[in-house]
Every structure is written in C-alpha cells, then in structure tokens.
A and B are shown apart, each in its own frame.
Chain A
Amino acid sequence: QVHLVQSGTEVKKPGASVKVSCRASGYTFTADYIHWLRQAPGQGPDWMGSINPDTGGTNSAQKFRGRVSMTTDTSITTAYLELSRLRSDDTAVYYCARGRVYGGSPLFDFWGQGTLVPVSS
C-alpha cells in the first residue's frame, strides 16, 4: 500500500532554512504529484505547493514564492521541501501528500506523518 515517510523534527532559529524529506513507496512515484502542506498550531492545513516528479515542474502558493524550493530524487522515490528565511510564524507541522485531481480540484489521498518545525530564537 501507499506510504509516505517524512524526516524528523527540525528545530530552527529565525533566518535559517529547513529541508524536509518525504520517501514514497507502494506506487509509481513518477505517476502522481507530491504536494506540500503545513498546519500551524490550532489552524487548518495550508497548501504550499506541488511538484511533478516526472518532469520536476513545480507550482507554489504565492505567499511562499521566493522562499520555497521543491525537488525530487526519483532514484530513491523521495521528495524534498526547503523553506528559507524562516520566521516564527513558520512554526508548523509540515506534511507531504500524494495528489490526484477529481472534478478539476486536487485532492490529497495519502499523507506523510508530518514533520514538526519549531522556529524560535
């Protein structure tokens, strides 16, 4: 079955960068987009962006453009999210999820377990 396994907690200071990994298994990695989402404490999920593992093409939410980088290594079926110039309000649990499209709207059918990134001086 489909599994997405993420890297562990990363404690960061303001201004630093963080890189989170997401290893996929149980399906053809290049067949579906990988999406990145985050959830701040007490808030709902917030979509950050997506990557097509087959082409490497990316699309990100406007609020993150210039600070976010999404990549994949198809040889090890792993996706990466890097977020730079971290601020305290970037404190959140970061998730990867497999994406499909239904009725014109992307959906996220399998999620990683989440990676906690606290940002504090």
Chain B
Amino acid sequence: QSVLTQPPSVSGAPGQRVTVSCAGRSSNIGEGYDVHWYQQLPGQAPKLLIYGNNNRPSGVPDRFSGSKSGTSASLAITGLQAEDEADYYCQSYDSGLSGSVFGTGTKVTVL
C-alpha cells in the first residue's frame, strides 16, 4: 500500500512544463523528512532523479527540479522531451511505519 499520493497521469506537449504532486502526511513529509524522486522507464529499475527535495544527482538534466512545502512535494519537468515519458515516484520516510514509503506513481506522457 502506498502512503504518498500522486496523480495517476499527467501529460504535456514537447517543450511544455509539467508538474507531478506528492501528498503526504504529518508522519512523513510533514514531519520534515526529505523527499526523493525516481524515474522508471519501461522494463527498467527505478533511477534516482531528485534527492533531498531539490538536488539533482550527477548526470540528471537541469530540466528536472523538485520542491517541498508542508506535507507535500512536487516534481517539475520543464522543456518536456519525448525521452521523459516514464513513470515517476516520490519517496520519503514515515516515522509511524518506521520505514521508507513510496508514492502511488505518475505516468508522464509526452503528447
């Protein structure tokens, strides 16, 4: 069961900006735990995309950015490209469950 809630899908034309939301609660994001984001291409393992709310690992384009406020977080993709079509998951820590929790996942479609 996923503790963090994301929209099932978002879409945009090439070059547009899209955002993916991630809603948590007071025992995870709202308690101050950082949010990380993963990109999963079909048939592949998830790949770390954003860590610590808004930091990009080496090699991740600066078209990807993250933010966090209160009990939620969001991922933004600017200048959408065909290769960005994938599933995206947010992840944080939940003190009530004493473990890591993931979002329900969002499929980003490039029109």
Contacts and interface: CB of A to CB of B under 8 A. Distances in A.
Given A47-B99, A47-B102, A102-B36, A111 B46 contact: yes
Contact of A105 (B55, B57, B93): B93
Nearest to B31: A104
Contacts of B102: 44-47
B104 interface: yes
A113 B103 CA distance: 21
Q: Is the interface of A mostly helix, strand, loop or mixed?
A: strand
Contacts of A112: 45
Given A46-B102, A107-B52, A108-B38, 10 more contacts: A44-B103, A45-B38, A102-B34, A103-B33, A103-B34, A103-B52, A103-B53, A104-B32, A111-B47, A113-B45
B74 interface: no
Interface of B: 2, 32-36, 38, 45-48, 51-53, 55, 57, 87, 89, 91-93, 97-105
B45 A114 contact: yes
A35 B98 CA distance: 14
B89 A45 contact: yes
Among A49, A61, A112, the one with the most B-chain Cβ atoms within 10 Å of its Cβ is A61
Given A47-B101, A47-B102, A61-B99, A105 B45 contact: no
B57 A109 contact: yes
A105 B34 contact: yes
15 contacts: A44-B89, A44-B104, A45-B38, A45-B91, A47-B100, A47-B101, A59-B98, A62-B98, A103-B52, A105-B33, A106-B93, A106-B100, A107-B91, A108-B91, A114-B45
Interface string A62-89: 1000000000000000000000000000
Nearest to B95: A104
Interface in A47-67: 47, 49, 59, 61-62
A95 interface: yes
A104 to B, nearest CB: 5
B36 A105 contact: yes
B36 to A, nearest CB: 4
